Every structure is written in C-alpha cells, then in structure tokens.
Structure 1
Amino acid sequence: MGRKVTLATCSLNQWALDFDGNLQRILKSIEIAKSRGAKYRLGPELEICGYGCADHFYESDTLLHCFQVLKALLESSETQDIICDVGMPVMHHNVRYNCRVLFLNKKILLIRPKMHLANYGNNREFRWFSPWSKPRHVEEYFLPRMIQDVTGQVTVPFGDAVLSTKDTCLGSEICAELWNPRSPHVDMGLDGVEIFTNSSASYHELRKADQRVNLVRSATTKSGGIYVFANQKGCDGDRLYYDGCAMIAINGDIVAQGTQFSLDDVEVLTATLDLEDVRSYRGERCHPHMEYEHKPYERIKVDFSLSDCKDTFLPTHRAVDWVFHTPEEEISLGPACWLWDYLRRSGQAGFLLPLSGGVDSASSACIVYSMCVLVCQAVQDRNEQVLEDVRRVVSDASYRPEDPRELCNRLFTTCYMGSENSSEDTRSRARELAAQIGSNHLNVNIDMAVKGMLGIFSMVMGKLPNFRANGGSSRENLALQNVQARVRMILAYLFAQLYLWAQGKPGGLLVLGSANVDESLTGYFTKYDCSSADINPIGGVSKMDLKRFLLYCVDQFQLSALKSIVAAPPTAELEPLTDGQVSQTDEVDMGMTYSELSVIGKLRKISKCGPYSMFCKLIHSWRESCSPSQVAAKVKHFFRMYSVNRHKMTTVTPSYHAESYGPDDNRFDLRPFLYNVLWSWQFRCIDHEFHFK
C-alpha cells in the first residue's frame, strides 16, 4: 500500500566553526540513516556552523563557509535518494535568518527560516538573527552561484511552507517554536501536515529533560501526527552542554528515545511508522468537525515517496517508556561529558585540581572520575573516536584504557595545599579520596610562599598584619585569608604547567575550579583565588545537590572516603585553628545556610525578585522557621553581600551551566556589577511596610 515511513533524526556533537568536522559528522549521520532504510534525515539546529558561533554570525566568512559545506553535501553520493534537512544561517534581502535547508538529489526543495527566536536564559538569537514574521508566506531566494552550479536552480522557495511528497505532508519547526504558545505545529496539523520536525539546540539544565518530552507528547496528543526531534549534543565551545535526547513520537507516544549523555559524536535514531495510524487518530479524535480558518500553507510538491509500496511486512515501532536520569546522575554525566569535550579539543594532557578535602573540590574530582568511567565504557563499546582521542591526550598510540582508576592516574593530578591553618582531618580526607579514584596526589605546604608575600609587604610598609584571633582588625584578617587563597591559585597554575615537564612528559594540565553556584551568588570566594581556574564543572550546581551527588558516588563508584567529606562542616580553613580544630565555617561566615541560599537564588533570578518582593515571598515560605524580622535581616544581608561582591562575577571561571538561577556575568545574568550597596529605598520599603526599625 505504501503507507509506512522510516524517518531518521540525530544528535551530533558539532563544534562552532569546525566546518571540516561538522561536515563529516553530518555525512556520517546521513550514511547511517540510509543504511537503516530512512527516506528523511533531520539534523540539529545550525549544525553546519555550530550553534554557538555567537558574534561569528556577523562575519561574512561564516555565511560563506556554510554554503561551501552545503555545496559539499549536495555533491556527496551519501545525500542521494533521501530528503536531507540541515541547519545553517542564510541572509535573505540583507537580513540574517536561522534556517533549515531541505534538499533531495542535488535540488534544494525549501529554505525554511525560524519564526520564533529564543531570547532568554543563555540564548541571544535576536542579537544575530531576525524572525521570519510572515506566516504561510513564501518568497524567491536567489542562490549563490556556487550552489546554482550544482543544483541548476537560480531561485528556490524561502519562507513558511511545507513539503508535500507523493504519500504525506511534512512541516518544520525550529527549537524554540515548540516552546512557543503559538507553535506552528498546531496550524500545520489543522492544515493536514502529518509529520512535524524540530531541529533543536537545547542545552542541559538539571531536572529539565522532561520538558522537551512532555512538549513533544503534547504536540502529537493534541493534533495527532508524527513528531521528529533532533538536538545538538556536547560542548560546542562555551559553558553549555547540549544533551542530545533525540526522539520520535506518534499520537502522544514516544516510540524512539536517544541518549541524554553520551560520548558518541554521532547518534542516529530511526523509526518506522504507519501513516494510517495518524489518519485514524485524527479522524476519530481531532478533526471531524474542525475547519481550518487560516490561509493554507503553500505546499512544495516533491516527486518522492517516504514510503515503499512493498512495506506490508515492515514492522512498525511501538511506544517506549522514557527513562529519566535522577539529578545525581545528571551531575555525574553532564559535566563529565562536557569535561571530555573540553579536554580532547583543547590539546591539553589532563586536569589539575586543588583538592581541599571539602564537598566542592571532592565533587569536581568525582566528576573527573565519572568522565574516566565513561571513556573506558565507550572504548569497551568499540567507540573508535573516543579511543583515538584518549590516545592523543595521553600521547600513547598503543594505549587502551580499561580501568577508570588507571586512566584517572594518567589524566588527573590532585593537590592538597595545606597551611598552618589547615587541619589534619581535611588533609587525610583529600589523600583518601585521591587514593580511591587513582589520581596523582601532591601534598604541598604553602606557608613558605605566604610568609614570603607578607615579608615583602612588611619590608615596604614596616607593618605586619595579624589575624583577628591574634588581635588584628577585620581588614587585616580578610587580607591574611585572601593571600593564602591567592597563593593557592598561583601554585595551581605553576604545577599545571610544569608537573608533566618535571616528569619528562609532554603537554600541560587544565586547572579545574570548584566554586558552587551558591558561593557565586553571594561572592563568598576570594577574587583570583583557587576558584579562578580554566574551567569549573560544578559552578552551576548548588551545595545541596553536590552533597546528594557525593552520596550517590559512594554507591555508584564505591568511594567510601566521601562519607566523611559530606559529614564535615564546610570551611575554607583560612583562619587559625583553635586547639587544632577548625573555628571557621562557611555558613556562619555567609550568615545563612546553603539551603536558604538556593531558595534566594531562585527568587532573585527566576522569579525576578528585588529585596522587597523577595521579602514578601519569604515571610510566607519561611514562616515556620523565621520571624518576619529574621527574614528581613536575611534578605538585607544577602543583597548587601550580593552587591558588594557582584564585581567578582566578572572574573569567575567559566562554569558548566546547570541551574536556571546561575549568576554567570554577562552570559546568563545580565545585571550590573556596580551597585549602591545601601539599597536605601528598597530596604526602607521593607521597614516601612512592616514597621521594622
């Protein structure tokens, strides 16, 4: 009968401006799709150039190279006899659009521009692109001569149209259009489109995977139809990790699920589905009495069938139960994949981490170990790309990683930088964790370097500062803490650059940071201390989530050393010990708990609360534990700390984005860094309204 269609979607680890690599990954995905019988292949958003090109989209070179790649795709034998749907920027009438280019057998069928742009969170699409604001309108696009020479076409359709093949009708959405309250798939479905496609570059955030799945399910539950979703994967050059999760759905059921975290550069998902199932679903539930009120979509007629007239015995895919990762698994997998991309593409030979024996640095260490587990598993699964990459990183063409601890020993150096203010407890906790994950572990005393710095100051100024415990002022106390923290940063980079040199090995190490998102919110770290690093895998994760993650690692990786790390009170160990014990704790210094900070961070960023509106919300949610006056004090204290320390965010280490309330300066959070720290009007509103003096 010719009613069963085999469709392919994919997740590709594309890299911004890596036109050679991006082309090869696109071709490989098409080859795999064809080998599985697919007649249509969908790729991620802006896959030819990479989604994260940012201001490179302004450059004419970027547009030129995209068309050169498109030319190579059109000429390739791999792209014959399959409708290929690829993403790239296109300039039409001197306006830049984020587009899909659909082609078949060296002919471009349609260039479909994005209609609803993403301009929230980490997305700034309005900076580089314009939305196509003409629904169901098509214009002529004049092709560049290099494309005309291949296709024989001078112009092609450009706009909001759909493809009509011999057996079905197919329409495109692009990423944010699925999230829009007026998603195109609604009108397309009412106009008879049976297959919806979505090319996306949707990045990972903790606890958010279900949003995409629910939206795809909802789209096909309401309208009926087949929905094919593609997504970017990997780190394409920035703080974001695109987490894959390609999927195919029909009539509200997911029938094919891609992986969320994977080291595979190319993942192709296919499904064979019966178009009659769509027609039966719509006939009974959706459309018997509906009339389409809008102008119909222009249909681009394609002399091609997605089905085969001899498909009677071709099995169709059945519904699957989507398996979601827990937040702890997401922390283990997402940043680990991000680190692997960064390491293999940076040309460095491993990582160095200042390991303090606390929750934060232990979390960064466990993520590196999780990366080693993933690499070993990928090699065991015969992933030749991962094997080639790891051999290049360790400079050993015959190496084959099999044990994560042994691989960790080759890639990872940890360093405990103790001082006279450090306790034996933290030293032993760091040493025990390093032994269990297999890292090269160094024990360095920084007292000599600190005394040298203070000696220079004393020689110039004729005075020597003292800790508060020894009679010094607050300014002296803070300066003495900061000099220790900054010396650790200098030493971390020194060892990162020369550790392998001292052993006669090639390459250098990337310095890892370990400041969590809550500390960034309040600026509870020293500017240019050991939180200053090359990259930070936990900079977008809350302290409470990190503690749960470490407990997960105890069972998942048999790292018993983490139990004592989680149980210990968080401390920077920058002030003198009292009878050999720590007298300084982080939560006392910050004036609030990490749990309270997470709540405040969500209100500040997600709910867009200033001091007054935050207070109004917290007096209700915290009424069981805090009086209104205590809530007022905490809110004021937070905003004073936040505004005094906001300047630190201009220098914070690039961090893996994991939380929707991250304070990442000039990227995710566009607030200023110079404030009137008194907040006089705002605080007076709190005091006046509730009569606090």
Structure 2
Amino acid sequence: MGRKVTVATCALNQWALDFEGNFQRILKSIQIAKGKGARYRLGPELEICGYGCWDHYHESDTLLHSLQVLAALLDSPVTQDIICDVGMPIMHRNVRYNCRVIFLNRKILLIRPKMALANEGNYRELRWFTPWARSRQTEEYVLPRMLQDLTEQKTVPFGDVVLATQDTCVGSEICEELWTPRSPHVDMGLDGVEIITNASGSHHVLRKAHTRVDLVTMATSKNGGIYLLANQKGCDGDRLYYDGCAMIAMNGSIFAQGTQFSLDDVEVLTATLDLEDVRSYRAEISSRNLEATRVSPYPRVTVDFALSVSEDLLEPVSEPVEWTYHRPEEEISLGPACWLWDFLRRSKQAGFFLPLSGGVDSAASACIVYSMCCLVCEAVKSGNRQVLIDVQNLVDESSYTPQDPRELCGRLLTTCYMASENSSQETHSRATKLAQVIGSYHISLSIDTVVKAVLGIFSLVTRKLPQFSAHGGSSRENLALQNVQARIRMVLAYLFAQLSLWSRGARGSLLVLGSANVDESFPTFLGVTAGSILTAPCGRGSLILTPSDEACGCLSTPPCNPGLLGYLTKYDCSSADINPIGGISKTDLRAFVQFCAERFQLPVLQTILSAPATAELEPLADGQVSQMDEEDMGMTYAELSIFGRLRKVAKAGPYSMFCKLLNMWRDSCTPRQVAEKVKLFFSKYSMNRHKMTTLTPAYHAENYSPDDNRFDLRPFLYNTRWPWQFLCIDNQSSCPFNQ
C-alpha cells in the first residue's frame, strides 16, 4: 500500500531586518504550499530576519522582532493544518543559536539548532552564533511569555531531535551541515528518518550549482530517502546574491528543480512522493542495513499528524527530472542582473550611471544592466505584479508598463564617454555604438579643460608643470598625469550621477557602477595611492606604474587605472557605488560578452572583444594607441586569473606558487621565467594590497576576491622584497634538476 506525501520547499527573496516584508513572503509561501496540497513546508535559513544581518545578530532587537514574527506566524490561519519549518535566531540559556522552529496548529513541536557553522570565505557565523555540540541530545527551551500565551506551552524540545509523524519521520539539516564530511543526514537516514530537510543561505558562485546538486543527489543515492533543500534568493543587503536552486530529491534522482535566477520574490516547489519507494530502495542495500543496526537512535518528538492524506492508488506521483544547468556565461548574464535589480529597487535610486570606455569590462557592466532590463520586461509580461510596481516606482510613472528592454534601458541607465586628448576615435566609436544598440541615455564629454585647470593650480603653486614620459617627463610625472585623468573622471561620474536626471527634469539620482574585474582588483601591480612612489624591490629606483583600461572601463573612458596587478587607481574605479563584475575574472567576462553578442544580437561587442586592452591615458603616437595593458603589467590577464586563484583559493605563498606553476607552465616557461613571474606578482601584490581597503562593494562570483573588508583578511602592509621566500624560489629555479 502506498504512502504518498506532498512536501514543499521554498526560495524566498528575504531582506535583512525587513521583518514585515519577510513575514509576508513567508505567509505567501505557506499559502502556495497548502494550495498545492503540501503538508510540510520548508523555508530558507534565518528567513524571518534575513540571513545577512551580520552584527545585527548581536542586538536584542533582532531576537525580539524575530520572536514577534514567529508569534504572528503561529497566530495566522494561513499556517493551520500544515507543518511549518521556519528559520530564526534563538537565545537559549544566554547562548545565541541559528535555529529551525517547527510548528503545527499554534503549537511549537521542536527547535533544532545548527550544529556546524559556516565560518570561512564570506561567512562569519561563529562571530554571531554557537554550534549545538550535543549530538542526539535535547533540553527544554522555556518559551518567552508572548509565545506561552499564544501556544499554551511553557517549554518545547530544543536540540538534536527529529520529528515523528503518524506515517514517517523527518530530520533537519541546516545549510553547512550538508557540506561537512559527516553530515547528520547519514545517521538520521540509518536511524529510519525518511525525509531530510535542509534550510540554506547559500550564495551564488560561478559553477557552484553542480556541487550543490551533487551533494543532494549523493546524500539520497547512498542512503535512500527524500531530501528537500530550501534557499534564500536575491540580494539581502550585501555583496552576495543568493541564487535559489531549491530542489526535492529522492533515492538519487531530482524530482523538482527551482530556478537559479529569478525576479520572483516567492518560489515554492512541491513534489508528491511515495514513502514505499524509499523503504524498498533502502531495504535492498545490505551494507546500509548493516550500518543501520549499529547507529545510535535519535530522540523523537511525536506529533498526531500525517503527511500522507490519501491512499488512492491512482493518485499521481512526481516523476524524476533532469537538472538543467546554466553555462557560466549565462550565470553572469543572470546573477549580477538580479543582484542589480534588488540593489536598485531597494535603494530607491532612479537608475545607474556607467562610465563607458569602449573596452570589454565597461561593456560587460552595460550588458548586465541590459540583461536586467530584459529580465524585468519578461517578468512583467509573465504577470509579476511586484516587479511592475517596483519599476513604476523607479521611473516615477504609475501607468508605465515596460515592454521593450532597450526603451527601459534608456530610462534606467545613463552611460558616459569621458574623452581626453589621449583618447582614440576607435574607443569613442565603440562606446557610442554600444550605447545606441542597448538604448542607454548616452553622454559624450571631454575632460581636458578640467585636467588643464587642475594642472594649472599645481603649476601656479610649484612653478613646475609635469610632462608625460613621451614628452621627456619622469616616471613620477607620467604616473601623476595619468592618475589625474582617472580621478577627475570619478569626480565627474558622481556629479553627473547626482544631477543628470535633475538637468533633464526627472526625479532622483543614479548609482555609479564600477567595472573593474576581479583580476584587476586583485592587488598586484600598477597604480598607487595619490602622490606616492614606491621603490622597486630590485632597488633600481622608482617603479614605473601605469594604469590600464579594460580593467577599469569604469570611471574612465578611456578607462582609468585598473587593478589586478594593482591595475587600479584608488578613488577612481575603486570608488563607484557598486560593481557588478568585481568578482568575475577577465576570462569569464570575455566569454560573457561573446555570449551577449549572440544572445542579444549586439554585433558591436565583437569589435570591442577584438580590440586590444588599453588605458589610453598616455599620449597617442601618430594618432594611434601606444599603451597596452598586458605590456604594462608584464603578464597576461589569463596568467593573472591563475595567480589570483592560487593565492586565495589554494592558499599559495610565493614558494608554493612557484612549485605549482613549475608543473602547470612546464611546456611554455622555463623555471627561471616562472620564478620571475611569481616574484613580480608578489612584489606588486604587496605594494598594492592597501587598495583593497577601498574596493567598491562588488558582486561576489569568484572565490579569489581580494575584498579586504569582508573576504580576504590578510594584512595590507608587507615587506615587498619577500627576501626569504624569493631566495627559496631562486635556489630552486637555478637547480640543475629543474633546467
């Protein structure tokens, strides 16, 4: 006889500290789940307060308002006759825990605290929470009076416990616990728990979805069972974009796949599955059954409620589906676009201002905004009322209905080409054509008057006028003249962002978009703080530091002073409001721009891709560009991506990086050449690490982000000579064995 259960999991666009909005979205998800026949509803991690509250978790207000929302949920008729599994912080015996609260019909059944906390990369859960360390043990949690009066309960079970219904058993994991070497679902499954739930707050990183799906399917293929994964979606107030991907799996197969990128605030997945399929699957795995006889039992909280409601043998059950993955180029097209939409609508600004250089990076930022406009038009067309209301508020027109992405882009994006006497006609033409095809409101201007005025002030005070190297000036003069252009572009960008809509008689201000990719932001080479000169490690005097374009594309057009090898100027591209490509490598960005050329029919992007990367901050030679990024940096963008990953993800210092690259580049470089590249990288890295303290908040898509404030907590003052480490490299690279 079948035991068919309908279960629901969610992806919710929650916002940190938006208790009212979060409450309404939770209620809506429960209502949808009940409408689809579900008897169990799972929501994302910390959904009541929003995951990204960070140090607000230390505030008693956050705990109080979370309890108030829980009380409102318990009291709502919407939550009746369905087991609701919600996430919130709980203070128990003066210790703060990240918890699941499971309730039914105004009664709290149990509180399950998180046992393994995420505490690396972007996550600092140990700063705010304590893990529950007592496996398979519970205590009594004394409910606050506001909940006692409502539930008529004084205490409820708190700890590592599972829920036994009339027909099955349900156990909880919370996000990180799925990723640990020995996840709770293993022993739960061995102890007869048939449904495992996982409430996540998992952010988007390129190619991460494969890992997430593999973990869930593997969990149910080895041990059998049903697995529900819920996740946060959207930008909840920070650099991360939570990418949904809610799913339901059984016995190694996926039965329901949620969207990874969507403008829908509430998404609910349901599946109807037969518990007998779990039981028969497990029964024939003899090795699993032998393990099951040895496992320590979990304490159970019993509830007089069944997840199965019908014994009709003809009732249809869900069928397995093949998971559909996005290519990395599509992920870049969709993830940062959704992030920008959330950031724009919640900041209440009227659009974006983007300095457009004619290079790949600023073109990529423009394409992401255009992709956002496409998503908005599609959402409105499909009947998303919230998106329509949001866009009407942004353009300050209550009767407006967006239909054409180009027309919407003209309302939400202002692009600006900021020319100087060093700019070429080619970059001007590329920027103008791109603005035309995506429909942005475009401005072209010259910064020469302002540059000359600033230099005139300097000359008036010092009686000296700096010259470019091409005109006989020193390296210090050459660098200063380039940085003046870059920083003036930043000042103009903010001026136009604040007042360009005013000048057109429109309401509001614009957010300045940056366009420095993760490779340029990684502190390793060119560009220094205003007025500073660094001595080359070799002692040959002043290091000639030059800015680059593409990297930045951002506040310069011709781009400013970008940054992977420190190829970015402080308070130029590093001084935008937000940066949609700041966590994306140059290699992935080029693939994304190629994708946009085909997806959106934008042939001008092909000319941008084929153009050499150049900052255009030094004088032209016979009208032609003479300054090239990769020549300035002494290495290619592809090499920079490798250095970045080895430095951050592989935790490689100078010597271990040299050893890894010896093998990786054995067919293209001699040991001595590898040694020189590694030493160059680390010398410039340490010279420019200070810039990471001022990076624009950027969409986080790569695990080698150099963001000093949140992600990369290394120091920013180094001995740039690395004498001991470099000596080890030299000794190894000159060893006859390596020749």
Band the TM-score falls in, shorter-chain normalisation: over 0.9
CA drift at 1:666: 2.5
For the residues of structure 2 that align with 1:417 and 1:488, how far apart are their CA atoms?
7
CA deviation digits over 1:638-675, x for unaligned, max 9? 11111111111110100000001111113111111111
For the residues of structure 2 that align with 1:531 and 1:183, how far apart are their CA atoms?
41
Question: 1:294-373 to 2 correspondence within 5 Å?
Answer: 294-373=295-374
1:603 corresponding residue in structure 2 = 646
Is 1:20 aligned to 2:20, yes or no?
A: yes
For the residues of structure 1 that align with 2:575 and 2:607, how far apart are their CA atoms?
26
**For the Cα contact (< 8 Å) 2:361–2:516, is it kept in 1?**
yes
1:80 corresponding residue in structure 2 = 80
Is 1:67 aligned to 2:90, yes or no?
A: no
Q: What's the secondary structure of 1:449's corresponding residue?
A: helix
Aligned length: 693
For the residues of structure 2 that align with 1:582 and 1:531, how far apart are their CA atoms?
24
Question: 1:635-650 to 2 correspondence within 5 Å?
Answer: 635-650=678-693
2:591 corresponding residue in structure 1 = 548
Question: 1:423-434 to 2 correspondence within 5 Å?
Answer: 423-434=424-435
CA drift at 1:120: 1.2
Q: Which amino acid in 2 is paired with 1:358?
A: G
1:622 corresponding residue in structure 2 = 665
Question: 1:534-683 to 2 correspondence within 5 Å?
Answer: 534-683=577-726
Is 1:689 aligned to 2:732, yes or no?
A: yes
- In 2 relative to 1, CA 473–143 (structure 1 residues): closer, same or farther, beyond 3 Å? same
For the residues of structure 2 that align with 1:261 and 1:291, how far apart are their CA atoms?
39
CA drift at 1:208: 1.1
For the residues of structure 2 that align with 1:582 and 1:230, how far apart are their CA atoms?
52
**For the Cα contact (< 8 Å) 2:574–2:694, is it kept in 1?**
no
For the residues of structure 2 that align with 1:540 and 1:145, how far apart are their CA atoms?
46
For the residues of structure 1 that align with 2:461 and 2:96, how far apart are their CA atoms?
59
**For the Cα contact (< 8 Å) 2:41–2:82, is it kept in 1?**
yes
**For the Cα contact (< 8 Å) 1:489–1:531, is it kept in 2?**
no
For the residues of structure 2 that align with 1:71 and 1:220, how far apart are their CA atoms?
34
Q: What's the secondary structure of 1:279's corresponding residue?
A: helix
Q: What's the secondary structure of 2:677's corresponding residue?
A: helix
**For the Cα contact (< 8 Å) 2:2–2:274, is it kept in 1?**
no
1:401 corresponding residue in structure 2 = 402
CA drift at 1:691: 3.1
Is 1:89 aligned to 2:132, yes or no?
A: no
Q: Which amino acid in 2 is paired with 1:201?
A: G
Q: Which amino acid in 2 is paired with 1:460?
A: V
For the residues of structure 1 that align with 2:437 and 2:136, how far apart are their CA atoms?
61
CA deviation digits over 1:86-124, x for unaligned, max 9? 000001111110000000000000000000111111111
Question: 1:425-574 to 2 correspondence within 5 Å?
Answer: 425-521=426-522, 522-574=565-617
Task: Report % sequence identity.
Answer: 72
For the residues of structure 2 that align with 1:494 and 1:380, how far apart are their CA atoms?
35
**For the Cα contact (< 8 Å) 2:585–2:641, is it kept in 1?**
yes
Per mean C-alpha deviation after superposition, the further-off stretch among 483-492 and 680-689 is: 680-689
Question: 1:27-42 to 2 correspondence within 5 Å?
Answer: 27-42=27-42
CA drift at 1:690: 3.2
**For the Cα contact (< 8 Å) 1:450–1:483, is it kept in 2?**
yes
For the residues of structure 1 that align with 2:249 and 2:587, how far apart are their CA atoms?
35
For the residues of structure 2 that align with 1:584 and 1:649, how far apart are their CA atoms?
25
CA drift at 1:688: 2.3
Q: What's the secondary structure of 1:289's corresponding residue?
A: helix
CA drift at 1:685: 1.1
2:51 corresponding residue in structure 1 = 51
CA drift at 1:288: 4.1
Is 1:282 aligned to 2:325, yes or no?
A: no
2:154 corresponding residue in structure 1 = 154
**For the Cα contact (< 8 Å) 1:2–1:167, is it kept in 2?**
no
**For the Cα contact (< 8 Å) 1:356–1:426, is it kept in 2?**
yes
For the residues of structure 2 that align with 1:425 and 1:512, how far apart are their CA atoms?
23
**Cα RMSD (Å):** 1.0
For the residues of structure 2 that align with 1:164 and 1:576, how far apart are their CA atoms?
75
2:558 corresponding residue in structure 1 = none
Is 1:177 aligned to 2:177, yes or no?
A: yes
Q: Which runs of 5+ in 2 are unaligned?
A: 523-564
1:115 corresponding residue in structure 2 = 115
Q: Which amino acid in 2 is paired with 1:99?
A: C
CA drift at 1:692: 7.9
**For the Cα contact (< 8 Å) 2:248–2:254, is it kept in 1?**
yes
**For the Cα contact (< 8 Å) 2:2–2:276, is it kept in 1?**
no
CA drift at 1:678: 1.0
2:526 corresponding residue in structure 1 = none
TM-score, with structure 1 as normaliser: 0.99
CA drift at 1:2: 6.3
For the residues of structure 1 that align with 2:228 and 2:209, how far apart are their CA atoms?
16
For the residues of structure 1 that align with 2:5 and 2:645, how far apart are their CA atoms?
45
**For the Cα contact (< 8 Å) 1:3–1:311, is it kept in 2?**
no
**For the Cα contact (< 8 Å) 1:512–1:535, is it kept in 2?**
yes
CA drift at 1:207: 1.0
Q: What's the secondary structure of 1:657's corresponding residue?
A: coil
CA deviation digits over 1:43-81, x for unaligned, max 9? 000000000000000000000000000000000000000
- In 2 relative to 1, CA 372–291 (structure 1 residues): closer, same or farther, beyond 3 Å? closer
Q: What's the secondary structure of 1:8's corresponding residue?
A: strand
For the residues of structure 1 that align with 2:326 and 2:295, how far apart are their CA atoms?
41
CA drift at 1:314: 1.7
Q: Which runs of 5+ in 1 are unaligned?
A: none
For the residues of structure 1 that align with 2:663 and 2:291, how far apart are their CA atoms?
47
Q: Which amino acid in 2 is paired with 1:156?
A: V
**For the Cα contact (< 8 Å) 1:513–1:530, is it kept in 2?**
yes
Q: Which amino acid in 1 is paired with 2:709?
A: N
**For the Cα contact (< 8 Å) 1:2–1:308, is it kept in 2?**
no
CA drift at 1:382: 0.2
For the residues of structure 2 that align with 1:541 and 1:248, how far apart are their CA atoms?
30
TM-score, with structure 2 as normaliser: 0.93
Q: Which amino acid in 2 is paired with 1:524?
A: Y
**For the Cα contact (< 8 Å) 2:263–2:387, is it kept in 1?**
yes
